Structure 1
Amino acid sequence: MLVSTNYAPEHAGIGPYATQIAEHWARAGHETHVLTGMPHYPSWSTDPAYAGVWRRSEEREGVRVHRRRHTVPPRQTAVRRALFEGSILLHALAAPPRTGRPDAVLAQMPSLAGGVVGARLAARWRAPFVPVVQDLMGAAAAQSGIRGGDRAAALAERAESYALRRAALVGVIHETFVEKVRAMGVDPGRIRIVPNWNHIPGPSRPRAESRARLGWRASDTVVLHSGNMGLKQGLEVLVEAARRDPALRVVLMGEGNQRGTLAALASGVPNLEFLPPADDGEFPDILAAADVLAVTQRATVLDMSVPSKLTSYFASGRPVVASVADGGGTAREVLRSGAGVLVPPENPDALVSAVRRIAADPVSADALGAEGPRHVASHLSRDAGLARIDALIEEALGGPHT
């Protein structure tokens, strides 16, 4: 049993990881069930195909998917996020899927509610519970700037601690999460590092062809950010970078609850454009068409999140500029890859300077970007990532730990 609020057809964030885990298990011949919500991410609006649906069970690629309705807040505040989490928790516990006793329950966190649901159902079924921490939501509430964040952080950390202390093993996607998880009362001997993997193919079209289709001239210096437009991303720095250097073409591709705010901020900035999320087939080529891929975070974001977009960025073969806090998990991953450079967060002048330096030397830019696919092949392949998840479950069931 896999518990994950996010699942296919969502194609951004942690949904693809949940989907690939479950389909991997199904292909291996395991009876696989997923307890999930209604598709809503990254737009934070319910997929029209599921409008009005209260509960649904469906078959996807050999996986039995059980969906439960929940609230979807178009804008994030602590209260709205609490209602979102509460609706997931109450509906899932009130109407759990009717399955036999699973051998194990794996939960992706966030959502917080998904972790608590996984822990409660595993206890009910007397099955090992194994959460995989993708984001630390208590730290996220404190560091992301959400309204009411201090109180939300305390409540979120209590919920995280409740779920994690009941786990047979705890997976974390990055080593920077280990100390936070240990501080919640989890024995360090039960924590395993299970990094995310690249879940998209490499680009398939020539860059010039993709740029022409997107309307990007060969002379344009294109800075692309792809993914969720939320509070913790601090995307205002890219708006200001575009404002300060009209020679840049800054592209924000995706959805999120801050998109409207960013669009208003970008009024009168003609060299900044918004694109909707790309289809899976186009996504790798759009990333590869850019000159620079940007990852941004608020200066307060340190040890609560490592953006899932990084694996896709690395696979594209383009250089990354990371406007993030030095020493945090995101900064470490960019440096580890060898495919990007760091600049101070929330500093548009530093970001512009880094982009200009990269654009001024195309040969060096290509060499920098080429480190990304090499890093993916060596450390972030799908097979390796899924094997780590399999090993986590095997150990929770009493198998070997190496």
Structure 2
Amino acid sequence: MTDAELHRPFDGRTLLVVSTNYAPELTGIGPYATQLAEHWAAAGADTHVLAGMPHYPSWRTDPGYRGAWRVTEERAGVTVHRRRHYVPPRQSALRRALFEATLLGHGLLAPPRTRPPDAVVSQIPSLAGGVIGARLAARHRAPYIPVVQDLMGAAAAQSGIRGGGRAAALASAAERRALRSATLVGVIHESFVPRVAAYGVDPGRIRTVPNWSHVQAPSAGRAGTRARLGWSEGTPVVLHAGNMGLKQGLEVLVDAARLAPRIRVVLMGDGNQREVLRARAAGLRNLDFLPPADEDEFTDVLAAADVLVVTQRASVLDMSVPSKLTSYFVSGRPVVASVAQGGGTAQEVQNSGAGLLVAPEDPAALLSAVRHLVEAPARADALGANGPQYVARHLGREAGLARFDALLTEVLADTQGRPRR
């Protein structure tokens, strides 16, 4: 095999990726779908993506796509087919169901016009993406590979959203059907394996394909970034970056700011709970809300903080690993995880050695951990340094994409030569 063939192993293949989220979205699962599709396009595949309109994490459709029903665009060698859907400004079980229903209906009503795909890959969540992927794979008699980033059924049950119990039952039923129809199932963390197997999926058909770090290492000087942001060198800065939703339980940081006026708490990002949190934080002079940072400065802002925080509600035992965590590790700053023991986030923080775990929804416990790190800078620096080392060993982009290549190659090899019925 020539070098060219080695670097273009999917020449002549047509691949369809179904992912509600895609570039230009910079957080959540969108960057993973984007980098995966672009990687396969560079490897020779005619790669198509069926996606929603960009809306995350603000939960507002990006201005450039408002009013459009269907958009087809080329991005880095990938053909992206976008379909309009409802975007709920606030979360409830009914609004979430309408979001998923419009994604599902429009995706099935107007699927991409491509050659029959050799494989269909979808990201779960969203629920609609899993169902659409399964239906289109069955329609074309192509192998189907869902990649479980999270499970909507469990998330709905734990979300605190009104009506979440009924939504959880419906979501679990749909997920079970989609996963049981899969050729192989990818999961981003081994903790998902028992849950996927409980849906009736043979564990022998489950493959672990961890997410990778999709951001660049910090490049700007820490002091300069702090000065630009107005952060005094004498004031400890505690930063949360990413989605501000119900699941995150960010009230704990607002309450921590109220208990510790000498510590600056920064919430950077967007989400459907942003205004609720702003109202809760009224009158707090040591709490700032920042918009999402641009891609080229994101890790510089992370590295300028003293402590990075990831939070979840106490009712959430989340098997997924939030994308912000891999970015936190890259920044080289210590992490305080206010999450339940046993979930994917807690396991990754423990595995990395890059931070401390505290009980969720406990502002006093969170503050105690922050003060411990602030008062012991050598300890904080040592924990922070473990993050980039962990990324280099386990979360590199090349290694992550290679695992997906192996997953796709296994499926294609298994179906090689079989006529489509």
TM-score (norm 2): 0.94
Aligned 1:333-372 pairs, distance under 5 A: 333-372=348-387
Shift of 1:321: 0.1
Shift of 1:315: 0.4
Separation of aligned partners in 2, 1:17 and 1:48? 23
> What is the aligned partner in structure 1 of residue 209 from structure 2?
194
> What is the aligned partner in structure 2 of residue 211 from structure 1?
226
Shift of 1:381: 0.3
Aligned partner (choices 388, 395, 417) of residue 373 of structure 1? 388
> What is the aligned partner in structure 1 of residue 298 from structure 2?
283
Is the 1:176–1:303 contact (alpha carbons within 8 Å) kept by the matching residues of 2? no
Separation of aligned partners in 2, 1:79 and 1:158? 17
SS of 1:398's equivalent in the other structure is: helix
For the pair 1:318 / 2:333, whether they are aligned, the reply is: yes
Structure 2 gaps of 5+ residues are 1-15, 416-421
Shift of 1:303: 3.4
SS of 1:397's equivalent in the other structure is: helix
Separation of aligned partners in 2, 1:183 and 1:399? 25
Is the 1:107–1:118 contact (alpha carbons within 8 Å) kept by the matching residues of 2? yes
Shift of 1:310: 0.6
Shift of 1:6: 0.2
> What is the aligned partner in structure 2 of residue 56 from structure 1?
71
- Match of 2:77, as an amino acid? G
Shift of 1:69: 0.3
- Match of 2:35, as an amino acid? Q
Q: Cα deviations across residues 45-81 of structure 1 (Å, max 9, x unaligned)?
A: 0000001000010000010000000000011100000
> What is the aligned partner in structure 2 of residue 41 from structure 1?
56
Separation of aligned partners in 2, 1:343 and 1:332? 13
Separation of aligned partners in 2, 1:154 and 1:114? 18
Number of aligned positions between the proteins: 400
Aligned partner (choices 372, 386, 392) of residue 407 of structure 2? 392
Aligned partner (choices 9, 21, 40) of residue 25 of structure 1? 40
> What is the aligned partner in structure 1 of residue 4 from structure 2?
none
- Match of 1:223, as an amino acid? V
Separation of aligned partners in 1, 2:18 and 2:389? 32
> What is the aligned partner in structure 1 of residue 9 from structure 2?
none
> What is the aligned partner in structure 1 of residue 7 from structure 2?
none
Is the 1:203–1:284 contact (alpha carbons within 8 Å) kept by the matching residues of 2? yes
- Match of 2:106, as an amino acid? H
Aligned partner (choices 18, 23, 26) of residue 11 of structure 1? 26
- Match of 2:297, as an amino acid? E
Is the 2:71–2:82 contact (alpha carbons within 8 Å) kept by the matching residues of 1? yes
What is the RMSD of the two structures over their aligned residues, measured on CA atoms?
0.9
SS of 1:131's equivalent in the other structure is: strand
> What is the aligned partner in structure 2 of residue 69 from structure 1?
84
Separation of aligned partners in 2, 1:355 and 1:399? 51
- Match of 1:126, as an amino acid? R
Shift of 1:302: 0.8
Aligned partner (choices 225, 229, 240) of residue 225 of structure 1? 240
> What is the aligned partner in structure 2 of residue 131 from structure 1?
146
For the pair 1:88 / 2:103, whether they are aligned, the reply is: yes
SS of 2:249's equivalent in the other structure is: coil
SS of 1:224's equivalent in the other structure is: strand
Separation of aligned partners in 2, 1:30 and 1:304? 32
Shift of 1:399: 5.5
Aligned 1:108-147 pairs, distance under 5 A: 108-147=123-162
Identity among equivalent positions (%) equals 72
Is the 1:44–1:73 contact (alpha carbons within 8 Å) kept by the matching residues of 2? yes
For the pair 1:262 / 2:277, whether they are aligned, the reply is: yes
Q: Cα deviations across residues 73-96 of structure 1 (Å, max 9, x unaligned)?
A: 011100000000000000010011
Separation of aligned partners in 2, 1:352 and 1:247? 11
Is the 2:189–2:319 contact (alpha carbons within 8 Å) kept by the matching residues of 1? no
Q: Cα deviations across residues 226-259 of structure 1 (Å, max 9, x unaligned)?
A: 0000011000000000000001100000000000
Shift of 1:282: 0.8
Q: Cα deviations across residues 3-26 of structure 1 (Å, max 9, x unaligned)?
A: 000000000000000000000011
Separation of aligned partners in 1, 2:165 and 2:309? 29
- Match of 1:112, as an amino acid? L
Separation of aligned partners in 2, 1:268 and 1:179? 46
For the pair 1:235 / 2:250, whether they are aligned, the reply is: yes
> What is the aligned partner in structure 2 of residue 149 from structure 1?
164
Query: Displaced runs of 4+ in structure 1, greater than 3 A?
Result: none
Structure 1 gaps of 5+ residues are none
TM-score (norm 1): 0.98
Separation of aligned partners in 2, 1:296 and 1:103? 40
Is the 2:54–2:61 contact (alpha carbons within 8 Å) kept by the matching residues of 1? yes
